[in-house]
């Protein structure tokens, strides 16, 4: 149990729909940790680009990112961009479509990673995304890679969107996930991959509780 408690760092990576956010949030609650949703920060930068119409003017966007302030509240449930609550705006289909192309820009990643490392400097955190185990917290106490079949991930995301009354189809959700997977795994800087020493967890057919209990078990052992 020596790693359990305030100072532990848990880093978790995986593709869209692998269950990272839900699992990390619950583990954070159970172990009293800070929850860091790193994808929300790239989504916030995408909202910034939409607000300033700089989706294709990357130099301008880099300047804006350097000058902007991104902050979380309510243990990761709410996200603020320059003091305004953009928690709903980060999950729109437009952001889903644009985010991977914005997140591949190295200068943007550098700024965001620095911010994430500052948030996690004291430990007591579970952070999830695409490069947490490989780039942001390569020395984390626990590194986990969550995955599931693309069909199951699409089904989960589709059910989630339906419950939010978003008008979409299973096929288009699966297409969007496949496109984003391809961009996230093939990009030059910080591509999504499992760190060599990460514990790989296939969540296909597993409930959230099973995965949460497994992770809490590893940390508490
Ligand atoms: O929730 P979902 O897994 O669909 O996405 P997310 O975690 O909110 O991340 C959205 C996008 O941000 C990803 O598809 C990546 O392109 C990018 N991202 C990244 O590049 N690095 C991270 N550490 C987290 C997200």
Q: For the chain, what percent of residues have pLDDT higher than 90?
A: 91
Pick from 95, 140, 1, 118: nearest CA to 128: 140
Give the pLDDT mean for 114-136: 97
Compute, in angstroms, the gap from residue 40 CA to the centroid of ligand 1. 7
Decide whether any atom of ligand 1 lies within 6 Å of the 108 Cβ: no
pLDDT value of residue 6:
64
Structure tokens given for 8: 């532990």
For 137-151, write each residue's pLDDT tens digit.
999 999 999 999 999
Per-residue confidence (pLDDT) for residue 1, from 0 to 100: 41
Grade residue 2 by pLDDT with cuts at 50, 70 and 90.
very low
187: left (phi over 0), alpha (psi -120 to 50) or beta: beta
Spell out the residues 6+ positions from residue 176 whose beta carbon is closer than 8 angstroms to its own: 93, 96, 97
Per-residue pLDDT of 13-59, as tens digits, reads 999 999 999 999 999 999 999 999 999 999 999 999 999 999 889 99
pLDDT at 164: 87
Two tokens, residue 73: 């509240």
* CA–CA separation, 133 and 148 (whole Å): 18
**Cβ neighbours of residue 113 closer than 8 Å, sequence gap 6 or more:** 131, 135, 136
Confidence of residue 208 (pLDDT cuts 50, 70, 90): very high
Structure-token pair, residue 187: 């990009």
**Cβ of 137 less than 6 Å from ligand 1:** no
Judge if the beta carbon of residue 42 lies within 6 A of ligand 1.
yes
Distance in Å, CA 2 to ligand 1 centroid: 31
* Structure confidence at residue 220 (pLDDT): 87
Q: What is the mean pLDDT of the segment spanning 148-157?
A: 96
Strand, helix or coil at 164?
A: coil
Give the phi and the psi of residue 166 in degrees, each rounded to 5. Answer: -85, 130
pTM: 0.94
Q: Which two tokens stand for residue 156?
A: 């989960």
Give the integer Cα–Cα distance in Å for 161 and 96: 12
pLDDT tier at 166, thresholds 50, 70, 90: confident
List the single range of 3-12, 53-62, 124-133 with lowest mean pLDDT.
3-12
pLDDT at 4 over 90: no
Q: Is 100 in the pocket of ligand 1 (CB under 6 A)?
A: yes
Is residue 127 within 8 Å of residue 36, measured between CB atoms?
yes
Of all protein residues, the one whose alpha carbon is nearest to atom 4 of ligand 1 is 16
């Amino acid at each position: 149990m020596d790693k359990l408690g305030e100072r532990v760092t848990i880093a978790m990576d995986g593709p869209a729909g692998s269950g990272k956010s839900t699992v990390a949030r619950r583990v954070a609650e159970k172990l009293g940790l800070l929850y860091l949703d790193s994808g929300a920060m790239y989504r916030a930068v995408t909202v910034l680009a939409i607000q300033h119409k700089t989706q294709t003017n990357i130099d301008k966007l880099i300047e804006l990112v350097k000058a902007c302030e991104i902050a979380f509240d309510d243990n990761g449930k709410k996200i603020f961009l320059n003091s305004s609550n953009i928690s709903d705006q980060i999950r729109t289909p437009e952001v889903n479509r644009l985010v991977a192309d914005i997140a591949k820009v190295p200068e943007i990643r550098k700024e965001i990673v620095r911010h994430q490392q500052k948030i996690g400097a004291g430990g007591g955190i579970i952070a999830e995304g695409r490069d947490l185990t490989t780039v942001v917290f390569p020395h984390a106490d626990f590194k986990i890679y969550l995955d599931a079949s693309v069909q199951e991930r699409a089904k989960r995301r589709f059910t989630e969107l339906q419950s939010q009354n978003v008008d979409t189809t299973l096929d288009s959700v699966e297409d969007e996930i496949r496109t984003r997977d391809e961009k996230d795994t093939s990009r030059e800087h910080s591509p999504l991959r499992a760190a060599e020493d990460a514990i790989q967890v296939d969540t296909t057919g597993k409930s959230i509780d099973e995965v949460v209990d497994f992770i809490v078990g590893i940390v508490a052992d």
